[in-house]
Structure 1
Amino acid sequence: MAEIKVEEILMEYRDEVMLIRIHRPDRKNALTQSMYTALTAALAAATADAKVRVVVLTGSGDSFTSGNDIADFLAAPPTGEESPVFQFLAALRQFEKPLIAAVTGMAVGIGVTLLLHCDLVYARAGARMQLPFVNLGLCPEAGSSLLLPRLIGYPRAVELLLLGEPFSAEQALDWGLINAISADADATLEQALATAQRLARQPAAAVHLTKWLLKRGEAEAVQKTIALEGRYFTERLHAPEAVAALQAFAGRRRSSE
Structure 2
Amino acid sequence: MTDAILLQRDRGLLILQLNRPDKKNALTRAMYSRLAEALEQADADPTINAVLIQGSSECFTAGNDIGDFLEQPPADLDSPPFYFMKSLLNCRKPVVAGVAGVAVGIGTTLLLHCDLVYVSRDARLRMPFVNLGLCPEFGSSLILPRLLGHAKAAELLLLGEEFSGAQAAEWGIATEALHSGEAALAKAREIAERFEVLAPGAVQVTKQLMKNVDREQLRQVIEEEGALFTQRLRSPEAIAALSGFINRR
TM-score (norm 2): 0.97
Identity of aligned residues (%): 48
Q: 4, 18, 24: which one pairs with 1:8?
A: 4
- Listed one character per residue, the Cα deviations across residues 168-195 of structure 1 (whole Å, up to 9, x for unaligned) are 1111111111111122222111111111
Tell me, yes or no, if the aligned pair for 1:18 and 1:54 is still in contact at 8 Å: yes
- 1:165 Cα deviation after fit: 1.5
How many correspondences in the alignment? 249
Q: 98, 108, 122: which one pairs with 2:118?
A: 122
Change (3 A) 1:120 1:13: same
Partner of 2:87: 91
Which AA in structure 2 matches 1:95? C
**2:135 is the alignment partner of 1:157:** no
After TM superposition, list the pairs within 5 Å mapping 1:59-98 onto structure 2: 59-60=55-56, 62-98=58-94
Partner of 2:43: 47
Tell me, yes or no, if the aligned pair for 1:106 and 1:128 is still in contact at 8 Å: yes
**2:188 is the alignment partner of 1:192:** yes
Tell me, yes or no, if the aligned pair for 2:120 and 2:166 is still in contact at 8 Å: no
Unaligned residue ranges in structure 1 (runs of 5+): none
- What RMSD over aligned residues (CA atoms) do the two structures have, in Å? 1.1
Q: 99, 104, 115: which one pairs with 1:108?
A: 104
Aligned partners of 1:176, 1:165: CA distance in 2, in Å?
17
Partner of 1:215: 211
Q: 12, 17, 36: which one pairs with 2:13?
A: 17
Deviates more, 1:218-227 or 1:6-15: 6-15
**Secondary structure class of the residue paired with 1:114:** helix
- Listed one character per residue, the Cα deviations across residues 167-223 of structure 1 (whole Å, up to 9, x for unaligned) are 111111111111111222221111111111112311111100000000101110111
Partner of 1:232: 228
- Listed one character per residue, the Cα deviations across residues 21-59 of structure 1 (whole Å, up to 9, x for unaligned) are 010011000000000000011102211222210101001
Aligned partners of 1:45, 1:142: CA distance in 2, in Å?
21
TM-score (norm 1): 0.94
Runs of 4 or more above 4 Å deviation? none
